Amino acid sequence: MPQPEPLSLPPDSAQDLRAELKQARAELAACYQIHPHANRYLRDHSQLVDAVLTRLWQQTGFDRGVALVAAGGFGRREQYPHSDVDVLIILQDEPTGALAGKLEKLIGAFWDVGLEIGHSVRTIRACVEESARDVTIATNLLESRLITGDRRLFHEFERAFHQSLDVPAFVEAKLLEQQQRHTRFQDSAYNLEPNLKESPGGLRDLQNCLWISHALGLGDSWNALARAGLLTATEARQVSRLETTLRDLRIRLHHVAHRREDRLLFDFQETLAREAGCQAQRNRAASEVLMQRYYRTAKRVRMLNHILLVDLRARVSAEPPSPAVSINARFAHRHGLLELADPEVFEKMPGAMLEAFRLLQERSDLDDLAPATVRAMVRALPRIDAAFRRAADNRAQFIAIVRAPRGLTHTLRRMNLYGVLGRYLPAFGRIVGQMQHDLFHVYTVDEHILFVVRNLRRFTLAEYAHEYPLCSRLIANFARPEVLYIAGLFHDIAKGRGGDHSTLGAADTRRFCHEHGIPEDDTQLVVWLVEQHLMMSATAQKQDLSDPDVIVAFAHKVGDLRRLTALYLLTVADIRGTSPKVWNAWKGKLLEELFRATQRILSGGAASHDEQMEARRAEARRILAHEAVPREAERFWRELDDIYFLRHGAQEIAWHTRMLYPFVHTTEPIVRARVAPHGEGIQVLIYTPDRDDLFARICAFFERVNYNIVEAKIYTAPHGYALDTFLVLDMGGAAQHYRDLLSFIEYELSRRIVAENLPESPVQGRVSRQVKHFPIEPKVSILPDERGQYHVLSVTAGDRPGLLSRIAQVLLQHQIHLHTAKIATLGERAEDTFLVRANDERLSNVKAVLKLETDLIAALKP
């Protein structure tokens, strides 16, 4: 590989030296594009920085008793293009005036030449004391090396530091630190924008193994670990290749971003893919090929990290070795780890791999597989073939794992980590590490599936019953809950194949159930769940749940209570498994409302429209009496028709009545706001003489105050007044914050409604990074509903500020009057549904509908 010329460091100005350093770094980067050797680049860059630091040190002129030391990544000669340069200046004694001045001048010079310095100045005693208090400082000092200065002082520091290091405490602290770091990333390596350094399966997991090994005196390289018996020679070569892959990506990422950036952001993935030589494939962009390569690398790193840490922890344990305790002819256990009675068990009896996972589920005295067991399992993976999958014993073992009363989530995660799950279910193997660019799933397909199964299992655990009480009650009485877990495992398994993944997944599910002896009625349920797993969320978020006919139609599609319960549980688990940001209390309320309304119908408790209206009036009267509202308030109801009482619940009717009965024929708009009854967001009531631009004005107002409209009930009373109810969310706010804004909303919105100017122009906000790099082609459809009472206007687009106002402006221009609006934001994806009155003549004109669709699409484009 061509090397840049050594940097000359004449005693010129800092500006000249800065220019030379910049030029030398540019030459290193150019060489890397031609000969991308990651380890050599890191070493050469470290040497370059060493040379600059040494020259500045010499120019400053230090006497004995001072040493310049590299620490952290710089200390192990891994200097990435834009990473901080961590240095430690070791002193014999606390600095006096003259020395302090020199040190200040030196550190200033470091910055002046363009080095991002992370520095500390300490005596040996201070180093020892600080490292005892902070494991991060201890880790940095563990990797220190002398750059220049007093060599004797540096060796004295090394002896003092290593003598003072509490190795058992250091090891436990590093293990805890890794656990906490993994928790910050949801214990997942498979976020769509992973951190190359910090995410599970990233470089930090490899470094952690070497730090602990170094502290134990076993060496600080993979070859050293192989010599110590912690790795095989093959594993040492493999982990070195994995490390080089991650290093290469991180170097390229720094170069592409032109800054210190360790996250594989969408902004850079396509460029990195081209630089890494990834080619686009059928149905897959080059960036998806790159990211699947990364995810599979991270998965392998996690496995090796697990193997090494188990062995390393055993080396530091004070517990004396004890003999293995036999479990059966194939397995034994020692110190909570499952060992093989014979290293060739898996080769001779491949089905024992599934048995190993069953034992981990069944026995509370087992914590994990021993490292040797994991190694033997990985070697034997090719034995999981078509014949293995056809064997009745193996099928029975797998179903037993799914039906086990404990440990399913951990078992499936282990099976995925070690490659067993993808071998046993080839369809699952194909989606391991597969990205989802739908702008609301933030995990790969396999990770999302495992989160969904985890969420279903979580409903069964008493310690989590407070999170979703209804789900916990329902699953407690649900016979044979394994059907839910199988549905969770298969619901997205056909993603990325082309075609409808629900239909393709249903075919896979039917085949699996028949092969594994699932009873026919349960098979039918699981297949139906996979095929219809999106139906409940679509109904709840896109249709008018206050319309009894919507509930009746949904109940007809569901068919019975067992299906309803299963679909509700799967839907909640699925939405919660897409992203921490997608689930909210409003969606939970909608799903529960749909569940309970459908449950009443399927239980034979459906009431006629007249009975429903009278029941709501009676409940509203009870609420009003409890709130001491006079009975004459009900006179307000004379102005309302049956549609109002069918579309609004008793609580809403009571709230509207209490707020509006003194203002039945007001000429001024009445705006009232309250914290939403379900505890998240603000419910806003608008009552005013109707006007065509009302919806557009309301949308413009809420977007300008940075609130998202998630639901709108648009109602016009027979006497010509609009009575509209909106639910709005401030995604970063809390209920107390909402209360502070209620009076502001009431005053400002009422003022905006009657303002003389036309509705304000939509907010001109930028699209998010996700929408920018993975744009959604806007889609618009206008279709009559099944009864011919309304037209359903569906809009799908990448979300951005001002989007709803743009839609409202187009509807205003076309004089379209809304009946209701459901505004669903799924991550960065907007899926909005509007019900429009079908008697509007404009919607029966083909040319007018085409013009409306064209104008909407134009407004939806960024």
In DSSP terms, 781 is beta-bridged to: 794
H or E element at residue 147: strand 145-149
pLDDT in tens, 17-46: 899 999 999 999 999 999 999 999 999 999
Q: Which residue has tokens 């080089």?
A: 244
pLDDT of amino acid 513: 97
- With a cut of 70, list the residues of the chain below it in pLDDT: 1-12, 189, 318-319, 437-441, 580-581, 606-607, 679, 731-740, 757-775, 786-788, 826-828, 838-841
**In the prediction, which pLDDT does 349 show?**
96
Q: Tell me the DSSP string of 104-120.
A: HHHHHHHHHTT--EEEE
pLDDT at 1: 45
Rounded to whole angstroms, how far apart are CA atoms 695 and 834? 12
DSSP characters over 593-643: HHHHHHHHHHTT----HHHHHHHHHHHHHHHHHHTT--GGGGGGGGG--HH
pLDDT at 738: 59
Phi, psi values for residue 144, rounded to 5°: -70, 150
Rounded distance between C-alpha atoms, residue 589 and residue 681, angstroms: 12
Burial (0-12, 13-18, 19+ Cβ within 10 Å), 557: middle
Structure tokens belonging to residue 504: 């393709």
- Residue 489 and residue 449 in contact, taking contact as beta carbons nearer than 8 Å: yes
Report the distance separating Cα 137 and Cα 230, nearest Å.
Answer: 26
In contact, 792 and 835? CB cutoff 8 Å: yes
β-pairing verdict for 85-91 and 117-123? parallel
C-beta atoms surrounding 630 within 10 Å: 10
- Rounded distance, CA 131 to CA 469, Å? 47
Separation between Cα atoms, residue 263 and residue 489, nearest integer Å: 29
| pLDDT at 449 (0 to 100) | 95
Q: What's the token pair of residue 87?
A: 């240095």
Q: Please state, in angstroms and rounded to a whole number, the distance separating the CA atoms of residues 498 and 86.
A: 49
Predicted local confidence at residue 302, as pLDDT: 92
- Measure the CA angle with vertex 771, ends 768 and 775; round to 5°: 160
Residue 853's CB is within 10 A of a number of other CB atoms, namely 17
Neighbours of 399 (CB within 10 A): 17
> What pLDDT shows up at residue 610?
81
End-to-end CA distance of the chain: 45
The answer to whether 633 and 657 have CB atoms below 8 angstroms apart is: yes
Predicted pLDDT of residue 767: 56
Q: What is the pLDDT of residue 157?
A: 96
* Count of Cβ atoms closer than 10 Å to residue 651 Cβ: 14
According to the model, what pLDDT value does residue 4 have?
46
- Integer Cα distance of 149 and 399 in angstroms: 66
- pLDDT computed for residue 6 by the predictor: 44
Q: What is the pLDDT of residue 313?
A: 87
Calculate what percentage of the chain has a pLDDT beyond 90.
59
Cα–Cα distance between 802 and 696 in angstroms, integer? 11
* Structure token pair of residue 563: 């299906």
Q: How many CB atoms lie within 10 A of CB 796?
A: 18
CB half-sphere exposure, 454, CA atoms < 13 A = 18
- Per-residue pLDDT of 437-450, as tens digits, reads 655 567 889 999 99
Query: Chain centroid to CA 50: how far?
Result: 40
pLDDT digits (tens, 9 = 90+) for 679-729: 678 899 999 999 888 998 998 898 888 888 888 888 889 999 999 999 888
